[in-house]
Structure 1
Amino acid sequence: MTAPTPRIAVIGAGVLGTATARALALRGAAVTLYESTGFAAGTTGTTFAWINSHAKTPISYHELNMAGVDEHHALREAGGPAPDWFFPSGNLEWAADDVGDARLAEALELLEGRNYPWRWLKPDRARELVPDLRIPDEVRRIAYFPEEGYVLPHPLVARLWGEARDHGAELRCPAEVTGIDERASDVRIELADGTSEAFDLVVSATGRWSERTAALTGVSLPMADPNAPGSATVGLLGYTSPTATRLDAVLTTPRLNVRPDGGGRLVVQGLDLDPDADPAAPPPVDGPHAAQLLDRLADLLHGTRGARLESFRVGQRALPADGLTVAGRLRPGGRVYALATHSGITLGPLLGRLAAHELLTGERDPLLADFAPDRLTGADPGSFGELERPRFAGQQ
C-alpha cells in the first residue's frame, strides 16, 4: 500500500520558509505556505546578506555555516530558470591598527584546521581583484576569503519559492496565523479570518516573530528582543543610488562593510553606528549617519563620490536567546518544527533541506545536534543575559 502524501504547513515566506517549502515539495510533500504580509517581508528583506562562516563560534555553529556556504554553491551549480542570486566573488577584510590586525590574525589561525579557504594578499593584489579599491597606506596585508560572497535576497526567495510552486506548493497570503492546535492525529492552523485547516506537520519559520509563533503551541521559545534600540538585534543598513565603481566582492573593513546590490547600487554598513539603530525611528537618508556612511564609502572606493542613499533601514535580526540556531521539533515527537537563526541567508537553503529530511524520514542530521529547541524551551528568558552587539566583521 502506498503511504499517504504528508500534508505540511510552513509559516513564513522568508528565506527559511521558502527553502523548507521547496525542499519538502521536491520530496513529494503537499505543502501550503502561510504568509501574513508578503515574500521576504521580515529580516530576509533587510540584511547585509553576506555568505560566510569565517568568524563564527562555537565549532558546531561554524561547521553548520560552512555547510550552508557549500549548499549555496551546490544550488547555484544546479542551475535552473531563475535570476542570478548568489555571487561567490570573495570577501576582502583588513584591520585598522596593530591591535585589530592581531585580532584578525588570531581569528584566521583558528581556520587553519577547519578546511576554510583563505589567504593573505598584498594591497596591490587586492586592487587587481577590486580595481577601484582605496586602501590606507598603513595597511600591509589583507585577508581574502575566496569562497565567500553575497546574495540578493529577493532573487534567492524567488528561486526557492518558484521551485516549490513548480512542484505543487500552494500559497496563502495574506494569511495571519492566530492559532496552532497540536493534536494526536494532526495539527490545525487557525487564521485571523476565522478559517482553519488541518495538517500532518507544521514548520514555523517566522524569524524574529518565532517566540510569538511558538507561544501559539503553548511552548516558550525565548528570542532576543528585535525592537530594542542599540541592541545586538538591530543594525543600520544604507542602500545607495547607482554608482560608477567597479566592485564585485564583499568588503569588510574597519570603518565600512560594503556589498553590491545590483545595478551599480551598494549596501553599506558601519557597525560602530549601530548603537543608534532604533526600529521605531529609522534615520533619514540625508541625515548625519547617512553622511558618515557616504563619506566612508568615498574614502573606500573610487567612483562613489556623489552617491546618495536611496533608503536607510534598520535591520532587525532574528536571534534566539543564546545567539545560536534553532532547528527541531518544539516538543519531542511533536508535530511542530521550529527554524530560527541569525544566519538566515547563509543557512536558509541548508536548513530547509535538513528540516525536510528530518520531517519526512525521522532522521536528524548530525549537523543539527547542538541546535534543538529544547535547550531554550521553558527556560527563563532572563537567564541568557544580553547578547553582545556586533563590533567586528563576521559578528553581524
Structure 2
Amino acid sequence: MKIAVIGLGVLGASVARSLALAGAEVTVFERTAPLAGTTGTSFAWFNAHSKNPRPYHDLNVAGMAEHAALEQRAGVAPPWLVRGGNLEWAEDSAGAERLAGATAELIERDYPVHWIGREQARELVPDLRIPAQVGEIAYYPTEGHLYPALLMARLWGEARENGAVLRCPATVTGLSATSSGARVELAGERTEFDAAVLTVGRWTEDLTAAAGYRVPLADPDAPGSVTVGLLGYTEPVPARLDRILTTPRLNARPDGGGRLIVQGLDLDAEADPADPPAPDGPHARELCRRLGELLAGTEGARLASLRVGQRPMPADGLTVAGFLDEDARLYSIATHSGITLGPLLGRLAAEELCTGNPSEQLAEFRPQRLIGRTDHPKLEPARFAGQQ
C-alpha cells in the first residue's frame, strides 16, 4: 500500500512508524518542520485521570500501556518517558471536594492513586513547599512526563529506517478521496495514494473541510479559551524535582538539565496566540513568583521562554480516530491527549488501514459523530488541565 501521512508531530510519526513496520510505502508531508505544531509546545503529562467518560479513560490507560510496550521493544533511542508520578493537592473546601470525588472515581476504576501525608510528599520531593492548610496529597505513582523530542526520535527514526520518506517543507493545499484512493495536492503537483492519514492537530478542521468531511474543532486561536495556554520554560535552577506537581496555583515538571516547565491554569485566560507574552513580562514574573512559593531552590528563577501552546480539541473534547469516508480512503486523527495516546493511536490506525478490520478500542471515537455538526458543545476548562 502507498499511504500519505500529513503532519509530523507525535501522531504522524507514530502512524508512519507502524505503517512502515507493516510494510506500507509511506510518504510524510510536513509543512514546516517536525515538532513544529502542538507536540513542540506541550506540558507532556503522561496520565489517564480526569479523562471522562469511561471509554476515554480506558483509551488513555491503554495509551499508557502502549508506551510501556514500546519501551520493551528493541530500539536505540534515549529514554523519553519518566514515570516519577504526580502529586496533587487542594487548598480550599471546593477544591478538596472535587479532588476527593476524582480520586474516588479512579480508585473505583482500579487506577493507581492513594493519599499520602506531608512528610511522605517531602520524601518524594525534598524541596517541596506545602501550604500549611494542606494535610493530604493525592499521589498518582504511574503517571509522569515525556520528552516529546526524544519520543519523536524513536518513532520517526524507526519509520525512516523502515522506508518512510519525509517531504519537508511541503504544504498540502488539497486533499480528496478518489475512486481508487486518495489524492494529495501541493502547489503545482498532485500525487495519488491508496489512502491518506491526517495528523495535522489544530489544522484538522480546515483540511477535513477541504476534503468534504469537516471535523469541527474548538477554535485553537481563541484568546482565553480551553484550547490555549501559557507554558513557561525556566533557566536551570538548583531545585530537586523529578516528577510532576499539579497544584492549585502552579503545575510544574522537569525539562532536563535543571530546567523546569511551569503552568498556571488561571493565567491561561490571558493567553493569546496572536500576542505571546514576553519571557520577562508580568505573566513570567508571576509564574516565577509562584514557583518560588512551591519549590525551595528556585528563588530568583527566570524564564528562558514563555510560549502560548495551542491544543487540538475536537468539538466535544474527545479523541477523533477513523475513516472520514465510506470507501476508507481518508483517515483522520485528532486528540487533546496526543502525548499519552500517540503510540497507541498510531498502531491502531495502521492496523485498520492495512487490514480493513475496525478496532473495538476506537469504536467510541469515530469522526462521524462530529462531521457536519454546526454547534460546538461547551467545553469545561477543568476537564483539560494541562497540555498532554
**TM-score grouping bracket, smaller chain normalisation:** over 0.9
Structure 1 length-normalised TM: 0.95
* SS of equivalent to 1:264: coil
Partner residue in 2 for 1:295: 289
Give the distance between the partners of 1:188 and 1:262, measured in 2 at CA: 42
Partner residue in 1 for 2:138: 143
Partner residue in 2 for 1:201: 195
On the 8 A contact 1:175/1:191 being kept in 2, the answer is yes
Structure 2 unaligned segments of length 5 or more: list them. none
Give the distance between the partners of 2:110 and 2:41, measured in 1 at CA: 30
On the 8 A contact 2:216/2:376 being kept in 1, the answer is no
Give the distance between the partners of 1:254 and 1:79, measured in 2 at CA: 40
Is 2:36 the counterpart of 1:41? yes
Shift of residue 394, structure 1, vs aligned partner: 6.3
Shift of residue 366, structure 1, vs aligned partner: 1.4
Give the distance between the partners of 2:355 and 2:115, measured in 1 at CA: 44
Equivalent position amino acid for 1:333 in 2: D
Is 2:103 the counterpart of 1:108? yes
Match of 1:321 among 308, 315, 319: 315
Is 2:80 the counterpart of 1:88? no
Match of 1:388 among 372, 380, 383: 380
Equivalent position amino acid for 1:182 in 2: A
Q: Once structures 1 and 2 are overlaid, which stretch shifts more, 76-85 or 15-24?
A: 76-85
Partner residue in 2 for 1:238: 232
Shift of residue 392, structure 1, vs aligned partner: 7.7
Give the distance between the partners of 1:190 and 1:62, measured in 2 at CA: 37
C-alpha deviations, 1:70-127, integer Å up to 9, x for none?
1112212325211221111110101112221121011111112212111111111111
Partner residue in 1 for 2:342: 348
C-alpha deviations, 1:305-357, integer Å up to 9, x for none?
11100000111000011111100001123300000001111111110011001
Partner residue in 2 for 1:18: 13
Give the distance between the partners of 1:300 and 1:326, measured in 2 at CA: 37
* SS of equivalent to 2:382: coil
Give the distance between the partners of 2:384 and 2:89, measured in 1 at CA: 11
CA 392–200 in structure 1, closer or farther in 2 if over 3 Å, else same: closer
Match of 1:181 among 176, 180, 204: 176
On the 8 A contact 2:116/2:138 being kept in 1, the answer is yes
Give matches, 1:341-380, under 5 Å.
341-380=335-374
Shift of residue 63, structure 1, vs aligned partner: 0.6
* SS of equivalent to 2:196: strand
On the 8 A contact 2:237/2:298 being kept in 1, the answer is yes
Equivalent position amino acid for 1:331 in 2: D
On the 8 A contact 1:55/1:395 being kept in 2, the answer is no
Give the distance between the partners of 1:144 and 1:219, measured in 2 at CA: 42
On the 8 A contact 2:50/2:383 being kept in 1, the answer is no
Equivalent position amino acid for 1:384 in 2: H
Partner residue in 2 for 1:156: 151
CA 96–51 in structure 1, closer or farther in 2 if over 3 Å, else same: same
Shift of residue 391, structure 1, vs aligned partner: 7.3
Is 2:314 the counterpart of 1:334? no
Match of 2:256 among 259, 262, 268: 262
Give the distance between the partners of 2:139 and 2:384, measured in 1 at CA: 16
Give the distance between the partners of 1:320 and 1:212, measured in 2 at CA: 12
Shift of residue 244, structure 1, vs aligned partner: 0.6
Q: Once structures 1 and 2 are overlaid, which stretch shifts more, 70-79 or 318-327?
A: 70-79
Equivalent position amino acid for 2:158 in 1: E
* SS of equivalent to 1:209: helix
* SS of equivalent to 2:340: helix
Shift of residue 181, structure 1, vs aligned partner: 2.8
* SS of equivalent to 1:339: strand
CA 306–47 in structure 1, closer or farther in 2 if over 3 Å, else same: same
CA 391–301 in structure 1, closer or farther in 2 if over 3 Å, else same: farther
Match of 1:218 among 209, 212, 215: 212
Give matches, 1:273-284, under 5 Å.
273-284=267-278
Shift of residue 294, structure 1, vs aligned partner: 0.3
Give the distance between the partners of 1:122 and 1:170, measured in 2 at CA: 52
Give the distance between the partners of 1:118 and 1:152, measured in 2 at CA: 23
Structure 1 unaligned segments of length 5 or more: list them. 1-5
Partner residue in 2 for 1:131: 126
Shift of residue 185, structure 1, vs aligned partner: 1.2
CA 56–394 in structure 1, closer or farther in 2 if over 3 Å, else same: farther
Q: How many residues align?
A: 388
Shift of residue 385, structure 1, vs aligned partner: 3.5
